Amino acid sequence: MAGGLPRRIIKETQRLMAEPVPGIKAVPDEGNARYFHVIVEGPAESPFEGGTFKLELFLPEEYPMSAPKVRFMTKIYHPNIDKLGRICLDILKDKWSPALQIRTVLLSIQALLSAPNPDDPLENDVAEQWKVNEAQAIATAKQWTKMYATRG
């Protein structure tokens, strides 16, 4: 497969550029068509509202048989996202299906920001806080959003 980019990736990229997902920007890297620079806006009425979160997304050689690799670059206080920005999301792991797309992955990540799931945690301390004292956890998440995800 050296050099040639599968039709699937070309078409997906074209569509992603033509009809972008609201609140999400995904741009392929100039040097590597499998690497995307992603910016997700914090969803309204979530503790992440007002923040812009940078992510990286990479399509491995086996894509779409294997899931894309996605990681938050911006620090975020979330029970399903760890210190290194790795995301605990079923469709990125065992629930991946080759019929899913970059678009559906990004939408799911946006949904995860709207509805954190402390029962399936990746970052245990954060999840604990979220369960024991949700108000405090939300306050911290807001604070982090202001500190790390707001420009200027």
- The H-assigned helical ranges of 5-123 are 7-18, 102-114
Amino acid present at 125: D
Figure out which of the listed residues 104, 124, 133, 143 binds other proteins, where binding follows CB under 8 A: 104
CA gap 105, 135 in Å, rounded: 28
Least distance (Å) between residue 14 CB and other proteins = 10
Q: How far apart are CA 146 and CA 5, in angstroms?
A: 39
3-state secondary structure of 50: coil
Q: What is the pattern of x (binds other proteins, CB under 8 A) and - over residues 62-81?
A: x-xxx---------------
Cβ-based nearer residue to other proteins, 97 or 150: 97
How many residues belong to the site for other proteins (CB under 8 A)?
16
Is residue 60 within the footprint of other proteins (CB under 8 A)? no
- Which of 8/83 has CB closer to other proteins? 8
Report the site for other proteins in 1-30 (rule: CB under 8 A). Answer: 6-8, 11-12
Backbone angles phi, psi at 48, to 5 degrees: -100, 5
